[in-house]
Amino acid sequence: MKAGFVSVLGRPNVGKSTLVNALLSRRVSIVSPKAQTTRDDIMGIYNAKDLQIAFIDTPGLFSGGETLYRRMNRSARRSLSGVDAVLFLIDASNRDLENDISLLASIKVDAPIFIVLNKIDLARAPEVIEKKERLVKSFPDAKVIECSALTNFGFSDIVSSLVEVIPEGLPLFPEGQFTDRDESFFAKETIREYLLRFLHEEVPHEAAVAIKHLTKTDDGYDIEATVYVEKESQKAIVIGRGGAMVKRISMSARQDLEKRWKKRVNLRLRVEVLKGWRESPTLLDKLGYGGKD
Ligand SMILES: Nc1nc2c(ncn2[C@@H]2O[C@H](COP(=O)(O)OP(=O)(O)OP(=O)(O)O)[C@@H](O)[C@H]2O)c(=O)[nH]1
Ligand SMILES: [Mg+2]
């Protein structure tokens, strides 16, 4: 039996969460077309015959000014401690390879790094060849794997490469466990997923979700949650005309959670202004983002 931890790193929007979900055939992490979707490390535990891999999906690495973004970066870099391997994802369809290269060069880790050229379905062959040549020049020891998290292309290559470096050992988690996160986390992230889906860039990026109360009832869950935004104008947008938008978000999140848990869910969603939450270490602690500075 082999068992180990693998950190999944890369710039925002390269497909880290999509890849972890697809490898597990399960939605552990939220996905959206917008950058900075993932804000916390989240584990997706992959089980196969004689093999267990705990993938750590991380927030996209980038240099943003706010305390929230510094904490997201730190959370991603922290995931590297004690890992057996790193999957460093690059968007194969993106022209901006030099940014990925300098980011990868800045990663200090005592474990093998596999470069995964994701979104290969969107890239043209000559583009892929050129990118691979450039990567091999910069990182002669790293293996480059072509992949499409959307079509499951390259997955056997990823798993067999990891198997070579993951140590022999007992399972790290019981077989039925597929994540390290609890129901409150999934409720919070599901609400964020619909904020990201239904609203323009600025609003979901400046919004946080807190689960105020989650209890198990006879037939399901009773949840009370608050969406915090930075400004009154954003509050009005999230609520929508006559409450239409907040209703749409809470109904979609409720149906999604009911499907996930196969239980009835009662969800009450409020919207409040919490000015400066992305800059305040105390508020970030309260909202569960990223530990101490
Ligand atoms: N065409 C294509 N799209 C992909 C692929 N992988 C991911 N995507 C899309 O890319 C977008 C971003 O995917 P995510 O999985 O949220 O990316 P991420 O790296 O986790 O992003 P952050 O959490 O913001 O750092 C989504 O719209 C995905 O559907 C792929 O292999 N091919
Ligand atoms: Mg993500």
Establish whether residue 154 lines the binding site of ligand 1, counting it when its CB lies within 6 angstroms of any ligand atom.
no
Average pLDDT, the chain: 94
Q: Of 13, 40, 119, 192, which is best to mutate to test ligand 1, by the most ligand atoms within 8 angstroms of its C-beta? A: 13
| CA 8 / ligand 2 centre spacing (Å) | 10
Task: Place 136 in a pLDDT band, splitting at 50, 70 and 90.
Answer: very high
What is the share, in percent, of the chain residues with pLDDT greater than 90?
86
Pick the CATH number of 183-287 from 3.10.580.10, 3.40.640.10, 3.30.428.10, 3.30.300.20: 3.30.300.20
**Within a 10 A sphere around the Cβ of 232, how many other Cβ atoms?**
10
The per-residue b/e assignment along 151-180, b for 16 or more CB within 10 angstroms, e otherwise, is: eeebbeebeebbeeebeeeebeeeeeebbe
Look at residue 291 in the predicted model and tell me its pLDDT.
53
285 or 250, which is more confident: 250
CA distance from start to end of the chain: 38
Nearest-CA residue for ligand 1 atom 32 is 119
Q: Which of 71, 82, 35, 75 is nearest to 57 (CA)?
A: 75
CA 50 to chain CA centroid, nearest Å? 26
pLDDT of 40 over the 60 cut? yes
R_g of the chain, CA atoms, integer Å: 20
On whether the 2-165 domain is CATH 3.40.50.300, my answer is yes
| CA 19 / ligand 2 centre spacing (Å) | 9
| CA 34 / ligand 2 centre spacing (Å) | 10
What is the model's pTM?
0.95
